Amino acid sequence: MPREMLPTGTDSPQSPFDRVRQVRDDGSEFWSARDLVPLLGYGADWRNFAAAIDRAKATAANQGMDIATLFVGATEKSGGRPREDFHLARFACYLVAMNGDPRKPEVAAAQAYFAIQTRAAETATAPAVPQSYADALRAAADEAERAEAAERRAAELEPPAKAWNILASASGNYSVAEAAKILSQDPAISIGRDRLFAFMADQGWVFRSRNPRGGWEAYQTQVDNGRLYERPARPFLNEKTGELELPAPTVRVTVKGIERLRELLGGSEGLIALPGGKA
């Protein structure tokens, strides 16, 4: 498939993601997954990067997106044996970044770049991002707003001081502030949001984000084992700089994580109720 690397076209500083952006003969853009591997901090580790692509595909499939269009299978031609590659649409790059290793500052930079550029493409008069991508971004933003509103409402309510009501089949996740309140129902535990973050950091569950706006991020192992969940942040306009920024994701604790934290904190026997009667 004929393609060419886009020239810089300017003497001003340019994002490395702009420099590896490519266009086909029909004018459509894409990024080679092989080009993105070092830019997202994976060095030459294609296997782990391919795993992030697989997770991104699953995310796209769950949103009803056309995977074949977003992730076009390709072969990288070089002096040696041809290697597997993917030609990624802009939205596919965003999904890959969101499913990358959160400990890598390069991943955070990619998340910000592709979130901002996808939004910019959506609002530009031309070229416009396909409507299905725009709808998916708006849906994600709306869902984040609803989740934030629900979290604010839940923070106003103290969980009922009744017996534990956590079952093996329980599901859902809670803000760290909510998790601290739930755990503190145990007579043997007294902990607040900040102390719980510090405790989880000591246990190797979370780490301080390198995002300029600060915050916490979860280690991928704790997300994979189902103890923590990360809700992606929404880009917002910094009124002082006039630029779009992407904060760190929001760390939330699952029921499984609350159960394990209770054990680590030396909780007593018995049951604890979840807010809203969740079980």
Encode pLDDT of 154-199 as tens digits: 554 444 333 344 333 345 788 999 999 888 888 889 999 999 999 9
Read off the tokens for 20.
């590896």
Q: What is the pTM of this model?
A: 0.43
Torsion angle in degrees (nearest 10) through CA of 119, 215, 173, 154: -90
Among the listed residues 191, 235, 202, 200, the one whose alpha carbon sits nearest the alpha carbon of residue 218:
200
pLDDT digits (tens, 9 = 90+) for 63-99: 788 899 999 999 877 666 788 999 999 889 988 888 8
Block mean pLDDT (10 aa), the chain, length 279: 41 70 91 92 88 87 86 80 89 86 78 73 48 53 57 48 37 85 88 94 92 86 91 74 75 91 82 49
Q: What share of the chain is helix, strand, coil (3-state, %, to 5)?
A: 45, 20, 40
Cα distance between residue 99 and residue 200, in whole Å: 22
Residues linked to residue 30 through DSSP beta bridges, in sequence order: 22
Torsion angle in degrees (nearest 10) through CA of 1, 74, 121, 149: 170
Asked if 44 and 37 count as a contact pair (C-beta separation under 8 A), the reply is yes
Q: What is the pLDDT of residue 78?
A: 65
What lies within 8 Å, CB to CB, of 158 at 6+ separation is 181
Cα maximum dimension of the chain: 68
